């Protein structure tokens, strides 16, 4: 199946075949495992000693958050530039679809926190890193269907790289990048690579030990700061709903929650993440 941007949606049969090996994931000592306990999870790509069964993340740079301040000129400039990009180019879901963004999530539950990730394969695959005009992912509120921030992903030509600092001056280094080592996050990145990048066509179906480094920049107020990992509470996302969905749907922003069923058929892969997750022990 082809979508409007020329990306062929991965078929149910192909993804099931590619994911069959995930069902053989071996978990050592998982009986009492928690998100904070380290377990050995083979994603048929090698042992992953830092991986966990539950959602978990780590800092890409030790102490990278220590020097970060919301009122630092570099943070103020970056947030303002992101705000301008979202307002002028990617204000809502309709504009994201038109620009080639695809639905993507750090976890398998679409709307557990009421916001979602949209990712642009073109931006993931280019040379730009931490570019406000080319954010690899845009964060969307599922009630208003409006953009509320971005998530930069440290990749070059689609491959993970060491992330750059937001600023490093006078001994204050701000590098608030994080990665996901939990099985749900690793699976979500694997799903994106298979469904939208079609890695399986070159024989690459291995589950990664961790995701590339990622960095949130929120353009709405957030009690935990501009670079917070978790989404802002509901009361911080009470903006006006999008005026128009921007695509053909029976759903309405502000009335209906944004989810897979509200999206155009050509944007939804034939095999959704939760359907494949049933094959993965621990999910």
Q: Encode pLDDT of 89-135 as tens digits.
A: 999 999 999 999 998 755 565 445 789 999 999 999 999 999 999 99
Mean pLDDT computed over every residue of the chain: 82
Q: Is the pLDDT of residue 35 over 90?
A: no
Give the separation between CA 154 and CA 174, rounded to whole angstroms: 15
pLDDT in tens, 56-92: 899 999 999 999 999 999 999 999 999 999 999 999 9
3-class SS of residue 152: strand
Mean pLDDT value across residues 139-152: 96
User: Hunting for tokens 């679809």 — which residue is that?
Assistant: 97
Contacts (Cβ under 8 Å, ≥6 apart) of 25 = 41, 42, 43, 44, 183, 207, 280, 281, 282
Q: What is the C-alpha radius of gyration for the chain, rounded to an integer number of angstroms?
A: 19
Residue ranges covered by each domain of the chain? 12-277
Please state the pTM of the whole predicted model: 0.84
């Amino acid at each position: 199946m082809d979508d409007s941007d020329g990306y062929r949606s991965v078929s149910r049969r192909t993804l099931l075949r590619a994911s069959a090996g995930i069902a053989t994931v071996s978990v050592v000592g998982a009986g009492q495992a928690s998100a904070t306990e380290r377990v050995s999870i083979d994603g048929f790509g090698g042992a992953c000693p830092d991986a966990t069964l539950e959602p978990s993340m780590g800092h890409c740079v030790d102490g990278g958050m220590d020097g970060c301040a919301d009122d630092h000129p570099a943070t103020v400039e970056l947030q303002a530039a992101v705000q301008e990009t979202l307002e002028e180019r990617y204000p809502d879901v309709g504009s994201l679809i038109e620009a080639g963004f695809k639905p993507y999530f750090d976890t398998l539950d679409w709307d557990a926190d009421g916001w979602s990730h949209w990712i642009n394969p073109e931006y993931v695959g280019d040379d730009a890193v931490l570019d406000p005009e080319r954010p690899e992912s845009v964060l969307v509120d599922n009630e208003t269907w409006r953009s509320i921030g971005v998530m930069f992903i440290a990749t070059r030509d689609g491959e993970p790289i060491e992330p750059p600092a937001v600023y490093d001056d006078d001994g204050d280094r701000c590098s608030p990048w994080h990665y996901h080592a939990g099985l749900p996050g690793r699976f979500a990145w694997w799903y994106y690579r298979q469904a939208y990048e079609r890695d399986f066509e070159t024989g690459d179906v291995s589950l990664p030990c961790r995701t590339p480094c990622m960095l949130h920049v929120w353009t709405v107020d957030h009690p935990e700061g501009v670079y917070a990992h978790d989404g802002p509470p509901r009361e911080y996302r009470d903006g006006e709903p999008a005026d128009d969905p921007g695509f053909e749907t029976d759903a309405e922003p502000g009335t209906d929650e944004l989810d897979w069923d509200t999206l155009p058929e050509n944007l939804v892969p034939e095999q959704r993440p939760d359907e494949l997750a049933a094959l993965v022990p621990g999910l």
